[in-house]
Amino acid sequence: MTTPPPDDGRGAAMRADGTHAATSYSPALPTPRGPLSAAVIETLSGDRHRVLPPRATVTATDAYGEDPQLALYTCYELHYRAFAGTDGRWEWDPELLRLRGDLESAFLAALRHDLPHHSDVASALEPLLHEPVDGDGVSHFLERGGEPWQVQEFVAMRSLYHLKEADPHAWVIPRLLGQAKASLVAVEYDEFGAGRAARAHSQLFADLMTGLGLDPRYGRYLDAAPARMLATVNLMSLLGLHRSLRGALVGHFAAAEITTAPSAHRMAQALRRLKLPEQCVSFYTEHVEADAVHEQVMRHEVIDDLLGREPGLTPDVIFGIDATSFLEDRLADHLLSAWRTGTTSLRQPIQALPGGPARDTA
């Protein structure tokens, strides 16, 4: 019988090199941020008599706000690892799905109202393919002079997605055909480590977190993450869970792959400037190499083949591209606005969280 790796006392198994192996850990339910998220969380806590809010309550709330985004995120997590102590039957509970549908409708309506209206895929992708020479994004900020505590905040926040990296996109696989399907699976194969669990991007991110002194457990920083971060992850789950939005998920995936390689290069430079361990840098160097190829595959093999078969999905592909850029830009504005004034971008500073590192640790 194989002896399991020792546990570090935080629910994450330690490997021989001091990094954390993936576990089946399910996080605790988050802290509510308003009546919508409270209703969902109280229901999942075991209150089967809890009356879930009607559609009118959802539509009267800012779709991008803390409360509806956490409520939506909590509903979606039932399709990933769920939460510790929750009944697995909640995943397909009709009333919970009804509320989730209302939240999704409000989120989609807000996005469709706020997005630019590109007429074709090429014009939607154009801004992503040609970065300005003197960029001012998050990775530019961290590369030029970001401090260790800012890197920690960024990584803690992004862990909501990267600890399940590529999982939302896997839902689109059975909904594609031909070359689009084969090529997207090839990209996903790389995302999951090309058959090596230690090289899966989610595991490389957990190693990065460990090197920064962060807790690499799945969902650990959910309570600290603002709605703007939740929205970027919720978009992926929303598009992945609906077959009717398969074109939008492909557009999202393409946009993400196009923008990742240059930003990952800058992040690697930022971490090296701060003299952080190589295990911190590996996540980003892996993306520099892989995503430069992935973006070509997504554009020329997946999108072209998909739209050759289903040209009617063109508006959805454009929507996925534009929604990704819009939500990422909103998140970047939030991060930079906070950091430029020396304040935390999180709902709670990392050092204030139980077991969190000191501000100068990295």
Report yes or no: 357 and 350 within 8 Å, Cβ to Cβ. Answer: yes
Range(s) of the domain holding residue 212: 121-352
- Phi and psi angles of residue 28, each rounded to the nearest 5 degrees, phi first: -75, 155
Report yes or no: 252 and 326 within 8 Å, Cβ to Cβ. Answer: no
Among 55, 84, 114, where does a domain finish? 114
- Do residues 87 and 109 both lie within one domain? yes
DSSP-assigned beta bridge partners for residue 7: 13
- Do residues 150 and 215 both lie within one domain? yes
> pLDDT value at position 46?
86
- Phi and psi angles of residue 26, each rounded to the nearest 5 degrees, phi first: -110, 135
Domain count, the chain: 2
Report yes or no: 11 and 23 within 8 Å, Cβ to Cβ. Answer: yes
pLDDT by residue (tens digit) across 188-204? 999 999 999 999 999 99
- Do residues 71 and 207 both lie within one domain? no
CA proximity to 184, closest of 171, 173, 168, 196: 173
> pLDDT value at position 65?
98
> pLDDT value at position 10?
43
* Threshold 0.85, pTM exceeds: yes
SS3 content of the chain, % helix, strand, coil (to 5): 65, 0, 35
- Do residues 183 and 281 both lie within one domain? yes
- Do residues 101 and 206 both lie within one domain? no
> pLDDT value at position 129?
81
Give the other-Cβ count within 10 Å of 235's Cβ: 23
Q: Where are the beta strands (DSSP E) in 142-288?
A: none
pLDDT by residue (tens digit) across 47-62? 777 789 999 999 999 9
- Residue 7 domain-assigned (yes or no): no
- Do residues 108 and 141 both lie within one domain? no
CA distance 37 to 53: 10
- Do residues 234 and 215 both lie within one domain? yes
- Residue 211 domain-assigned (yes or no): yes
- Residue 104 domain-assigned (yes or no): yes
- Do residues 334 and 282 both lie within one domain? yes
- Residue 60 domain-assigned (yes or no): yes
pLDDT by residue (tens digit) across 93-119? 999 999 999 999 999 999 999 998 888
- Do residues 80 and 226 both lie within one domain? no
> pLDDT value at position 3?
33
pLDDT by residue (tens digit) across 214-260? 999 999 999 999 999 999 999 999 999 999 999 999 999 999 998 88
More confidently predicted of 280 and 14: 280
Q: Which two tokens stand for residue 296?
A: 């070509």
- The proportion of the chain whose per-residue pLDDT surpasses 90, expressed as a percent, equals 77
pLDDT at 91 over 90: yes
Q: Where are the beta strands (DSSP E) in the chain?
A: none
pLDDT at 13 over 90: no
- Do residues 188 and 289 both lie within one domain? yes
CA proximity to 248, closest of 191, 326, 147: 326
CA distance 145 to 274: 9
* pLDDT bucket at 24, cuts 50 / 70 / 90: low
Among 52, 85, 114, where does a domain finish? 114
- Do residues 58 and 94 both lie within one domain? yes
DSSP 324: H
pLDDT by residue (tens digit) across 139-151? 999 999 999 999 9
- Do residues 169 and 247 both lie within one domain? yes
Among 114, 145, 171, where does a domain finish? 114
pLDDT mean across residues, the chain: 89
pLDDT by residue (tens digit) across 305-360? 999 999 999 999 999 999 999 999 999 999 999 999 999 999 988 876 655 554 44
The CATH code of the domain that includes 172 is 1.20.910.10
